[in-house]
Amino acid sequence: MNVSTPDWVKDAVFYQIFPDRFDRDRGDSAGNPAIVGVTFQEWGGQPTPRKFMGGNLAGVERRLDYLVELGISAIYLNPIFSAAANHRYNTYDYFRVDPLLGGDAAFDKLLTSAHQRGIRVVLDGVFNHCGRGFFQFHHLLENGPDSPYSDWFHVNRWPLNAYSSDEAPDYSAWWNIPALPKFNTDNPGVREFLWSVGTHWLERGIDGWRLDVPDEIDDDSFWQEFRQRCKSVNPDAYIVGELWKPAHRWLKGDQFDGQMNYLFTRAVFGYFIGRKLDQSQTIPMGYGRIRTLDGQSFGKELDHIFNHLYHPEIALAQLNMLGSHDTPRLMTLANGDRATVALAFLCQMTVPGAPNIYYGDEIGMTGRTDPDCRKAFPWHDLGVWDNSLLEELKRLTAMRHRSAALRRGSFQVIQADKQVVAYERYFKGERVVVAFNVARRKPAVFKYTGASGEVLREEPVGATQGESLQAGASVILPPYSGRVWSSTAP
């Protein structure tokens, strides 16, 4: 089978935004209908499952220049369609942007402004389930088995118990949560409806879909048709699935272009955080128990993920995560250790696939599991920003953007022992070498056995020593550090 993925994804650096918590723009003198006559929680207050802080798409738009400076070239937005929850995974109107976010007009303005800056926009597609306010489900609540839409959902018995917290719902729902009724995607009307949502927003100009729990629609033909219809509108549309485990079934080239690469995330935590990782934060959610990795095991894991799991085109289109709205924040899992976070970012920016930064991780925001990981971005409290981390991340994204080898090159582990991992990226004559030492107190030796006569200069990131690298040379890696050399270093 011919496998192709959107070429632009290889060059992208993504930024994930949870709209209610990113920024709240109060509008200009003409007023902003998204905030008139409504009451929000104080910005920066403790996040809860139900309260709204009022972040909106105008707020995202006014921070686009900040994202450009950070090196961002693509945005992944958590759900923006009309819904009665701050997370908006309980959609009731798939063809309308939530009024609290500014409605369709705010979205069109954001999309135009983003594209003018060369930033792509990928939306969250929630097609496994909807909200209780969704018209067809509401029709069931009003009419019971007499509703023409009774077969749009999996109903076990009538009347529906959709609001009692003391009893399980009488219909299939995501994680048995009454607010999230599951579609019956065997119904041809449901299928056509969901496919039409996919094409509608691509026709409106979005650049792709992140698919929420797509494995729960256990039907290859559904996703094959979804891909075909989406690609017929925009062949460059990126289709990426939320798949926490190896995903061969969906990544053969006929369904999705990539997955949210939590396989990579687990490996990074196992190596850079290791035994210091608070497993009480990972076991109850999608990460599960994370295995501590030494350098040799980490090297093998990276080689497996990027060289053996999937077709090379798929490997270059993975969405490489270090955190998301579903996970404890990177800084929290790293026990507040800035050095660990910086090394994780260095690794993320130098392996195959598109890196994705969860909003606020670049300034060291903290947060345990949901809802604590969904705090408001502290735009007006600069004193809590880790500016040194922010500046380091800017250097890392700039390095990635100027290096074709980091964006498109082959991947090879060239040293892996107890503490040290080193790998090489190569593309059309350009070579990049990355080396890590996770020993906390002792320096380590990295011996480069690369191409004879080639001299690589050190990139100004990580534990920069200003030392060149050539075949047969040995260099010292300081304790708990990472260094990068390339044939294109400034």
Q: How far apart are CA 126 and CA 89, in angstroms?
A: 6
What the block records as the tokens of 301 is 């894991």
CB atoms within 10 A of CB 453: 7
Q: How far apart are CA 459 and CA 433, in angstroms?
A: 10
User: What pLDDT was estimated at residue 451?
Assistant: 77
DSSP secondary structure letter of residue 375: P
CATH class of 408-486: mainly beta
User: What pLDDT was estimated at residue 35?
Assistant: 63
| Sheet with 258-259: strands ordered across | 258-259, 238-241, 208-211, 120-125, 74-77, 14-17, 354-358, 319-321
Which of these is catalytic: 20, 25, 98, 242? 242
Is the distance from CB of 218 to CB of 186 less than 8 angstroms? no
Q: List per-block mean pLDDT (blocks of 10 residues) for the chain, which spans 490 residues.
A: 93 98 76 68 96 96 98 98 98 97 96 98 98 97 96 95 87 95 98 98 98 98 98 98 97 98 98 94 93 97 98 98 97 96 98 98 97 97 96 98 98 96 97 97 93 89 92 94 90
CB-facing half-sphere around the CA of 164: CA atoms within 13 A: 9
How much is the pTM?
A: 0.97
User: What pLDDT was estimated at residue 164?
Assistant: 83
The verdict on whether 242 is a catalytic residue reads yes
Nearest to 75 by CA among 257, 163, 214, 207: 207
Three-class secondary structure of residue 412 per DSSP: strand
What the block records as the tokens of 399 is 């390095």
Which of these is catalytic: 20, 212, 301, 361? 212
Length of the chain in terms of residues written: 490
Report the 3 state secondary structure along 132-146.
CCCHHHHHHHHHHHH
For residue 294, CA distances in Å to 110, 238, 291, 452, 481 come to: 44, 34, 10, 30, 15
CB burial readout 153-184, b (16+ within 10 A) else e: bebeeeebebeeeeeebbbbbbeeebbbbbbb
Q: How far apart are CA 79 and CA 123, in angstroms?
A: 7
DSSP secondary structure letter of residue 347: H
Q: Which fold has domain 7-128+183-402?
A: TIM Barrel (3.20.20)
User: What pLDDT was estimated at residue 31?
Assistant: 44
The verdict on whether 424 is a catalytic residue reads no
User: What pLDDT was estimated at residue 2?
Assistant: 85
- Domain ranges in the chain are 7-128+183-402, 408-486
What the block records as the tokens of 20 is 């209610």
